[in-house]
Structure 1
């Protein structure tokens, strides 16, 4: 790729990833105007090899797109793909605990045993950009047919203003997944989807909301 094309490609990548040229220059250990001058004024005439390699890895592209000489552009393609995965995906920890599982650890005190990987784009499409997500397992039938025994659910534990919905809560030493509705005068109703389970009326200070359930997954 010619150097003018490489400059255009760098400007395009910067815009697509919402990464400012100043911040990218700082990534390279350069002054804030370094890449701006490269793109707008052609100074320096071409990127130094180390700078080009760092930018290619950051964007997850082949070095040839940023002006690498022929025959060297494939050198770091595999590593670039790995870096791109780290940029475009988020690992959500899976915790070895279950809602309605009786006494046990809370999500923020349990060491993950595995992780789900979700794309940042998908999370944004679901309205979950910026969410603090953890995955736990549903145990029991109290939330059927909405949530079945063995389903894995994502809970958003980021601090947010409370609103009615399905949450994981701690009541005493028990974790529960319930639909929570305000009952007035500082009280809440914990509701099961399975009508065989009666509502539980609790005071606000008797329960701790761990997180809101925002996604479920399970076998068909």
Structure 2
């Protein structure tokens, strides 16, 4: 018997295959970005809510996926450990106080989620890019995955959060005992040299949805 969770799992997997979050998939299909959010999968009184056939049809058209291929995504067939759920945080939200702890991990509940092949870091999370400050590498609407556990080397692309709450994606040029030198990905924006004491955390970007 087809289960409610089977259909939603297939939508999550379709989004992951397309390099998108569930909200990104809905947006690509011309739907309200919240259409596939976890909060929309049940009603306020706890009843199961199924995706409409119209919304499924639109995402299949938007991703050029056949109904047969979509059906193959239904069911728990990927095997244990093959996927992990990665919380997706809006990039504009990321700068607000309270969205990250001191180690750079997202806090709170109610995030959208991206079903993604296992990354080996259960603390990995995704950010949705807003604005043009990271073009042409990352564009408005792209999704990047950040791994707080990944080792950072010179010239890696990183997300940095200052103690003042500013969040930025840059390229690490140099790291000394006193400062962190960052290259702006979009050369129309200034490079940054930040005193180490002003950096709350820095984490490596390990994947992007380009």
Q: Residue 207 and residue 160 in structure 1: after superposition, are their counterparts in 2 closer, same or farther (change >3 A)? A: same
Q: Residue 185 and residue 118 in structure 1: after superposition, are their counterparts in 2 closer, same or farther (change >3 A)? A: closer
Which one is further off, 158-167 or 133-142?
158-167
Quote the residue 1:22 is aligned against.
none
Root mean square deviation of aligned Cα = 2.8
Whether contact under 8 Å (2:159, 2:170) holds in the other structure is yes
Whether contact under 8 Å (1:146, 1:193) holds in the other structure is yes
Quote the residue 2:191 is aligned against.
199
Quick one: distance in 2 between partners of 1:99 and 1:211?
17
Mind listing any 5+ residue stretches in structure 1 that lack a counterpart? 1-80, 121-127
Q: Residue 168 and residue 110 in structure 1: after superposition, are their counterparts in 2 closer, same or farther (change >3 A)? A: farther
Say which one has the larger Rg. 1
Bigger RCO (CA 8 Å, 6+ sep): 2
How many pairs does the alignment contain? 131
Quick one: distance in 1 between partners of 2:93 and 2:115?
25
Runs of 4+ with deviation above 6 angstroms: none
Mind listing any 5+ residue stretches in structure 2 that lack a counterpart? 1-73
Structure with bigger helix share is: 1
Quick one: distance in 2 between partners of 1:188 and 1:213?
17
TM-score of the two chains, using structure 2 as the length reference: 0.52
Quick one: distance in 2 between partners of 1:129 and 1:214?
11
Quote the residue 1:3 is aligned against.
none
Per-residue deviation, 1:112: 4.5
The equivalent position to 1:190 in structure 2, one of 166, 178, 182, is 182
